[in-house]
Amino acid sequence: MTTQTSKLKTNIIFFVMFVLLVFIDRITKIFSVNTLKEKPDIDIIKGFLQLHYLENRGAAWGMFQGARVIFIIITAIIIIISIVYLIKSDYTKGNLLLRIAIILLISGAIGNLIDRVLYTYVVDFIYVSAINFPVFNVADCYVCIAAALIIIYSLKSEDKAKDKGKEEEHA
């Protein structure tokens, strides 16, 4: 298989992954609006996890309320930079984790961007009451998982660089 064919296949897989992730986020938010907006919380695990409708006009955990335009601009910049990175990056197995993280990041960013544009707020609905954690949504999960994967990728890359440096010293 040629490199071009391999890149095309990889891009198609990542695009399908992106579409599926955004679709899951949208479906869960539509469910939330239609089911939870006018009703009390739904217990998933009593005393631990509930579905609770919330309109978040801020950023993470409701910080910076009312800064919608700034969030839209920052989100658009992050999405553009991420897409450019995906297009320009090499397709080695070594950066697969980073590429998956970026797809998750873009999917989460677009999921919340759609809310900000359509509703002027982000629909949140997952509430971990056992620790009184702020209400969040599926797109937020994508962004958090992406951040964790980027940290893991960075630590692994740093370890590889140290190992390579040690090999060069002993050569």
Catalytic residues: 124, 140
Alpha-carbon Rg of the chain, whole angstroms? 19
CA distance 69 to 80: 17
In sign, the C-alpha dihedral spanning 89, 91, 97, 101 is positive
Burial class (CB in 10 A: 0-12, 13-18, 19+), 150: middle
CA distance 98 to 16: 17
Whether the CB-CB separation of 114 and 26 falls below 8 Å is answered with yes
Burial class (CB in 10 A: 0-12, 13-18, 19+), 170: exposed
